[in-house]
Structure 1
Amino acid sequence: MPNSLNPFELIARRWQPSARFVERAALATVVMAVVIVVTGGAVRLTQSGLGCDTWPKCTPSSLTPTADMGINGVIEFTNRMLTYVLCVFVGVLIIAARARTPVRRSLTRLGWAQFWIVMGNAVVGGIVVLTGLNPYIVSSHFLLSSALLTVAMVVWQRAREGDGAPRDLIARPARQLTWLLVGATLALILIGTVVTGAGPHAGDAREVHRIPLNWQEITQLHVDFVYIVLGLTVALWFTLRAVRAPAAQRRTVVELLVVLLAQGVIGYVQYFTHLPEVVVGIHMFGSCLVWIAVLRVLLAQRERAALPAAAPAPTGDHEGDHETVQPEPAASSR
C-alpha cells in the first residue's frame, strides 16, 4: 500500500542516483572525516579548546559565542558546527545508497554506522569541554574520529564494488603481514595520542591537566614505531613482489611508503623546531593520510563482484508495486 511506504522508498520511486553519485557521496564523507580531524587539531593548537566553556551551549546563557569570547570562541563554535555539516554529507550518502536499485543494505548499514559514530563523538566532545580538556577524553575524541575515517574508507571501497563474496587477490602470508602492518600503524596512532596528551599543546591558555608522562620519552617511543611501520611496509613490498602480486596491490604499498617518509620528515621538523603550531597541524593532517594509505593497502587485497546495472525505479502508486532486485553476478573465479 502507498501509505505503508517509508520515506526512503518514496525517494527511491522518484530518484535513482547513479553508482557514480553514490561513490562520490562516500568519498565526500572521507574528506569530511579528515576535515573534522584537522579542524579539531586547529582548536587545540590555537588554545580554543575552552573557547566555548560549556556544552551544548557556548555559554550558560548563549548558544553562540559572545563578543567578549574573541576569536577562540569563534574557532571552537565553528568546529562544533562542522559536525552538522558532516551529518549532512553522511545523510546524503545514506539516502543515495537506500534510493538506488537494487538496494544495497550493506552500504546503508555502514552509512548509519558513520552517523552514530558522529553522534557519539559529539557527546564525547561535550564531555571534553565539561571536564576541562581531560587529556584521556581528548585522546578518545581523536580515536573516535579515526574510527569514523576507517568506516568512511570502507564505505568508499564498498561503493565501488558489488556485494558478492570477497575473493583474496594475494597469498595468505602476505595478507597476514598486511594485518601486522595495520596493527603496528594503529599502535603508532595510539602512542601519538599519548604524546598529544602529555605534550605542551594543551588546548587552552589556562592550566590544563596533562597525562603525567615525559612527553619527550613518549615521542621517542612514537618514533620507534614509525621505524617499525616503515620496516613492515618495505617487507610487504618485497613480499608482494616475491609472490608476483598484481601491480595495483604493489602500487598501494609504494604510495604508503611515500606518505610515511613525508610524515617522518614533518615529524622531525616539528620536533627540532620546538613544535610550532602550523607544523603540528600539518603533522595531524599527515596522520590521516597515513591511516588512509594503510587502509588502501588492506582494502586493495580483496575484490568483490562488480556492481550490477541499476534497475529502473518502480513507477505508479498501484497496490502491490515493489522494487525489483537484480541478482548480484557471481564473483570472478580468475
Structure 2
Amino acid sequence: MNTKRWIALVVAAAVLGISLVINSAFAFLQGGFSESVEELIGTTQTGLSETVVEDGDFNSRVAVLNVDGVIQDTGDAASFFGTTGYNHSFFMEQLENIKEDGSVKAVVLAVNSPGGGVVESAEIYDKITEIQEETGIPFYVSMGAIAASGGYYIAAPAEKIFVNEETLTGSIGVIMQSVNYGELAERYGVDFVTIKSGPYKDIMSPTRDMTEDERALLQEMLDDSYESFVDVIEEGRGMTEEEVKAVADGRIMNGRQAVEANLADGFGYEEDVIEQIKTDFDLGNAQVFQYGNDQGWGSLLSMKVNSFFGNDLETQMISKLLTEFSSPRMMYLYGDK
C-alpha cells in the first residue's frame, strides 16, 4: 500500500473517531441548550423549524414536503460525513407533525428520488395513508427530474400526481444485488473461511456462487414485495392488477408515458401543483410553508470536515464504505445508489 493510501486510511479513521466524540458531546450538551436555541430560531412544538414560501392565512396552510435523494435510513454517521440529502427520521417527523397540526389543510409532496429501501418506502406510504384516513388532508405529488421505483411507491396514495414531460418515473419492481469477488480472491491466493450454523446462513455471500435453492428463496421474497408494490398502485391509482402489471416490469418511462399509462394525472412544476391544490380545495389564501432541519453545529462541522479533506475520489470512496450498509437488501430502486 502506497503512502497516499495510508494517509487516506488514517484520515478516514481519525474523522470517524472525531465524529463519535463530537456526536456524544452534542448529545450531552443538547439538553441544556435546546430550550434557549428554540427561543432564538423559532421552532414548532416538535422541534421543526418552518419557512414560509407564500404568505397567507396561518390557520389554513399548505405544507410542502421534499423527498430528495435515495430513500433510506442511513443513521447519524452519514450525516456527519457531509451528505445533505434525504434524511428518513427527519421526514417521518415532518409527516407526524402534519398529522398533529390542525392548521395544515393540504400537502404537496415534492419527489426527486430514484427510490430506496423497501422498508423505508413502506413506512412513508403507511404514514401518508394514515394521515389521509384520520385527518382527510389531501396529498398532491410534484415529481421532479426523477421519481422512480420507491419514489413512485410513496407517491401512489396521493389524490393527484403531476409530472414534467421529461420526468423519469416508473421502474416498478424490486431489486437485490451483491458482488461476487470469489474468483478474483482465489486468483490472488485469498482464502475465505466460513463457519455457519445452517446451509443458508451465508446466503448472497460475495465469496462464492449462489445455489439454485438460495436463488429460489430470495426470488420468493422479492416476488412478495413486488406484489405489495402492485397492490399499492392498484389501490392508489384505481387500476386493475392487469393494468398495473402491464407496465410494472421494471421499465423506466418519461412523464408523457406515465400520464398515458394512468400513473400520473397531468403536467406541472412544483409551483403549478401548489396552485392546483389551492384551487381544488378552496385554499386560495392559504399560507404555504416547508419545514427546515436545524442540525446546528453538527451540520456545520460536517461541512467544514468535507471542505478540509477535499472531495478527491479516494476520500469519497472511503467515506462511502464507512457510512453505507454493506449487507445486501431489497430495494425499490432505479439505478445505482
| TM-score band, normalised by shorter chain | under 0.3
Greater fraction strand: 2
Q: TM-score, normalised by structure 2?
A: 0.26
